[in-house]
Chain A
Amino acid sequence: MGLEETFKKYKWMIPIISNAERDIRSILMKNFRTRKKNFYPQGDYKADVDNLIKCMLCPNMCRFDCGTLQAASKETMSPAYKARIGYYITMGLIDPTKEENKDFIDLMYKCTNEENCKVWCPFDFSVVSLLESVRDDLNDKGLMPDYCKAKISNLHETGTIENYNIFKTYKEKGIENISSNESVEVFYYVGCEMMKFPDVVNANIRILRQAGIKFSVEFEKRNCCGAVAFNVRDMKTAKDFAEKNANLLSESGAKIIVSDCPGCVLTLTERYEKLGVKIDAEIIHIANYFSRLIDEGKLSFKKELQGDYSQVTIHDPCLLARNLKDTTSIRKILGEFKHIKIIEPIHTKDKVHCCGWSGTAQLADRDLAIKEASNRISELIETGSNIIVSACPLCELGLGYGLNENNKEKIKIIDLSEILIKQL
């Protein structure tokens, strides 16, 4: 809100204050003057105290759409309460160094980064942005939880989020490594988690080939994008990975970088730029790229459905739908095929509910993340469709964990490219 708008909005207060009795006005003025002294921490801190206060004092207007709260069914998981605990930790009312306060610290990590809260926030911030600012202070005090440290340790030791270099498993998984000493048109940036879905990676490679694109994947040189370091707020590691990736991508000469993981796209763009690392290329999600190739006539598919995909439900990855603001690519591509019926769940597109596997919640509380995934599965199968199409390895992983014994055999969670490959 600009200065003029702020003045207009609050000018009704002027006569109220000026007409107040002298002693009352004096108390009010003192309260205005001493606000920071009374309610803000002393010394250096990184916590976003302004917004922590706003959030904790709000009547929790986003609670109904908070995935972790809906999964836990506990007041403890409510957004405003998380902000309140963040404030108390910052103010020293809760001592984060005491073992007895471990549950309070863990709460700062029980968020999936889905940012549904931001959709409804009267102040237009997301709770995860507040929690991250508290994590910064915890890190400065050497209080990063062990489950976060383990992921950072993996990054340092293997270059990926696993305790082995997952990119180097391409051979055993039957994925072709496409390397090039010359400049390529496109760099296909495979997400760490997508390496767990070799069929999807292979499908994407085949589709790119079919479109005649000159591209590389460079599994031998690859590192994780570093998203987990951003999530746990180890910014030194994050910057290190940003620079490594920027160098690799720059060396490739690619003008377009496509990734099968919306988290990678977000990290390589917005998150790197916040650290001052700019990659001189267009970076987009692969669904968006395929859609473009179709428009350009470089990619065409059989219109008749080749698999049993007559009725599908789309699970929009929240990072793709909300952060990257792309809810059309998947639908547009599926719309290419005859006899396909897309049944939308109640919570869809930019109002999608999370798969549970984003952010740090799955590190801090795996059962909570699985419950969130299970809630999402219930919403998706309420459509009556047995096929759930997504375009994110985290979603496909998370939703998979959300299946139970009753629906495991019946429900198929697939990546968009698994339909496309059959239509080539």
Chain B
Amino acid sequence: MTLDNFELIYSRNRCEIKNKPRVISKLKDILGEQNVSTKRVDLLAYSGDTTLIGTNWMLKGKIAGLPDIITWPENVKQISEILKLANEEKIPVIPRGEGSGVVGGAITIYGGIVIDMKKFNRIIEINDEDLTITVETGINGMNLERYLNAKGYTMGHIPQSLYTSSLGGWIAHRAAGQFSTKYGKIEDMILGMEIVLPQGEIISIKPIAGASRGPLLEKLFIGSEGTLGIVTKATLKIWPYPEKRSLISYAFPTIEDSFNAIRETLRENVYPAVIRIYDDQETDRHFEFIKEAKGKVMVVFICEGNKDLVSLEEKITREKCQKYNGVDCGEKPVEHWLETRFKVTETSSTPTFKIVFDTIEVASLWSNASRIYHSVLKAMKNLKGVLLITAHVSHFYPNGVGIYFTFAGVPPKGISDFDFYKMCWNTTMKTVIENGGIIGHHHGVGINRSAWMEDEWGNALNLLRDIKKLLDPNNILNPGKLYQPIWSKVIE
């Protein structure tokens, strides 16, 4: 099936499904007629993810990858049967949640069968005594969180993609939410999982609060981006909905002052749920209405939880901010952030001007954070065509940070938007590696980072590749992601 008017970006080495009608018939036997489609209207719907260069392509009628067959399994046995069939027929299988990934993780670069997990959206149990929820992984993030809120709980996992991402996607890409400094990343929240392995075997890792029973096997699957298995069910930590929230903001003279204030706060074992540093450019962009912040570095904090603890956390946070020359800007900047944090408008406005726009998040220990921030800004400014490079820092640990760069630019004459996009990504990746950072913090590797995995992991990548071969000898599950470069490392 083709979509003649649409140019296919990833068109090389597509799989050939031998005797496709027989495969479709077998899939319909497994899933029922209504849960299998090769209709053009469905194939086009699954032809990409939310990788931002995709918005530029979309306007021009280009598609990233074209799947051959879409499936909507309703139970774990059906997923197992699909994978067994795919192994027999050597057909790629690409698991998909809500398709909100921004690094190409769900793009069907070789075609194949998409397993859409949307029908795995059942909430199985909330256990108040254990403070856990057991839920299927196709559930939309917002639908999960607001169900919990209605029952008096929160998961504390609130990524900006909350409205448009799934639990399965979070697990696959090791997601982090805006409240991660207190509640942790998704990997800190998972206690147990049900997983279908690439050859169809179903395994169940029971919920564990803390144990010693051999290696932490479950961690292998968290962040495996649908290459080592499909997580179908998970048991996760939840928390009583916080009784108090405290909103704090300070403007600092330099990003280093803000780093010091936050680092020292965390050293006290004080964890504001939200901490967000906006560099001077982003402060001007987002908080132009706060006069005290002009030309400075805005930091917003939210402390939440037990009211007595929140009061104490607020006191200590304020002391550290004042120590490093922070100017108190009150609650208004935090309220503004709360009000606008899900109002994503940039992706809808830049592509018609042929502007290439994206965000790249990276990680660092504290000791390298400032250097990485300045180095990436410098390297990107030197890249011809880049008009804007800014950063905010929004995930913090006692030992380090996650830095979130935003860039926008127009490709110079003679360079395609895709090549320009790759150059921007590669420039950032190279600079981060050279300065002792980590290539990603919470969006995953997908296609965009795969060329830099060897630099990131060294020879440990071979072990990851061996594990992939062991579990998935036919390379069925989400091929072309994580372990092998799809892009070259071209920078100029």
Contacts and interface: CB of A to CB of B under 8 A. Distances in A.
A187 B137 CA distance: 52
Contacts of A62: 163
Interface string B277-291: 000010011001100
A38 B417 CA distance: 15
A57 B55 contact: yes
B45 A76 contact: yes
Contacts of A28: 353, 355, 387, 410
A27 B413 contact: yes
A74 B344 contact: no
A107 B41 contact: yes
B58 A75 contact: no
Given A53-B59, A57-B58, A63-B140, A8 B42 contact: no
B342 A123 contact: no
Contacts of A54: 345, 348-349
30 contacts: A8-B289, A9-B288, A12-B285, A16-B387, A17-B387, A28-B353, A28-B410, A54-B345, A57-B55, A57-B59, A57-B347, A58-B344, A59-B164, A59-B344, A60-B98, A60-B163, A61-B344, A62-B163, A64-B140, A73-B72, A73-B118, A73-B119, A74-B42, A74-B118, A75-B46, A75-B99, A91-B61, A104-B40, A120-B163, A120-B342
Given A23-B413, A53-B348, A100-B40, 6 more contacts: A24-B410, A35-B352, A57-B347, A76-B45, A104-B40, A122-B344
Contact of B164 (A12, A23, A63, A84): A63
A94 B99 CA distance: 23
A104 B41 CA distance: 6
Given A35-B353, A64-B164, A100-B40, A93 B410 contact: no
Interface stretch (B142-150, B395-403, B423-431): B142-150
Contacts of A172: none
Interface in B107-155: 116, 118-119, 121, 138, 140-143, 146-147, 150
Given A12-B285, A27-B412, A59-B50, A64 B348 contact: no
Given A84-B58, A346-B146, A75 B161 contact: no
Interface of B: 5-6, 39-42, 44-46, 50, 55, 58-59, 61, 70, 72, 96, 98-100, 116, 118-119, 121, 138, 140-143, 146-147, 150, 161, 163-164, 281, 284-285, 288-289, 342-345, 347-349, 351-355, 384-385, 387-388, 409-413
B342 A61 contact: yes
A78 B288 CA distance: 35
A45 B356 CA distance: 29
Contacts of B39: 103
A75 B100 CA distance: 11
A178 B284 CA distance: 67
Contact of B6 (A56, A60, A93): A93
B352 A38 contact: yes
Interface of A: 8-9, 11-12, 16-17, 20-21, 23-24, 27-28, 31-32, 35, 38-39, 53-65, 73-76, 78, 81, 84-85, 88, 91, 93-94, 100-101, 103-104, 107, 120, 122-123, 346
Q: Which of A8, A24, A55, A75 has the most CB of B within 10 A?
A: A75
B388 A16 contact: yes
A167 to B, nearest CB: 38
A229 B63 CA distance: 36
Contacts of B164: 59-61, 63-64
Given A12-B288, A24-B410, A53-B352, A75 B59 contact: no
Contacts of A74: 42, 45, 70, 72, 116, 118
Query: Which 10 A-B pairs have CB atoms at the shortest separation, nearest pair first?
Result: A103-B41, A73-B118, A122-B343, A54-B348, A76-B45, A64-B142, A57-B348, A75-B45, A64-B140, A31-B354
Q: Which of B6, B45, B342 has the most CB of A within 10 A?
A: B45
Contacts of B347: 57-59
A122 B345 contact: yes
A21 B5 contact: no
Given A24-B384, A63-B164, A346-B150, A56 B410 contact: no
A32 B387 CA distance: 15
A288 B485 CA distance: 64
A368 to B, nearest CB: 11
A27 B410 contact: yes
B355 A64 contact: no
A39 B288 CA distance: 32
A243 B324 CA distance: 71
Contacts of A35: 352-353
A21 B288 contact: no
A10 to B, nearest CB: 9
Contacts of B141: 64
Given A62-B163, A73-B116, A94 B140 contact: no
A61 B163 contact: yes
Contacts of A94: 5
A8 B289 CA distance: 9
Nearest to B98: A63
Contacts of B119: 73
Given A27-B413, A28-B387, A346-B146, A64 B163 contact: yes
Contacts of A31: 353-355, 410
Nearest to A103: B41
Contacts of A59: 50, 100, 161, 164, 344, 347
B421 to A, nearest CB: 15
A129 B141 CA distance: 27
A107 B41 CA distance: 9
Nearest to B118: A73
A190 to B, nearest CB: 36
Contacts of A53: 59, 348, 352
Contact of A123 (B121, B285, B345, B351): B345
A277 B119 CA distance: 46
Given A28-B410, A53-B348, A93-B61, A78 B45 contact: yes
Nearest to B117: A73
Contacts of A75: 42, 45-46, 96, 99, 116, 118
A24 B387 contact: yes
B108 to A, nearest CB: 12
Contacts of B59: 39, 53, 57
Contacts of A38: 352, 354
A379 to B, nearest CB: 10
B344 A88 contact: no
Contacts of A346: 146-147, 150
A114 B58 CA distance: 27
Given A53-B352, A57-B59, A93-B6, A20 B143 contact: no
Contacts of B99: 75
B158 to A, nearest CB: 13
A74 B46 CA distance: 9
A199 B161 CA distance: 47
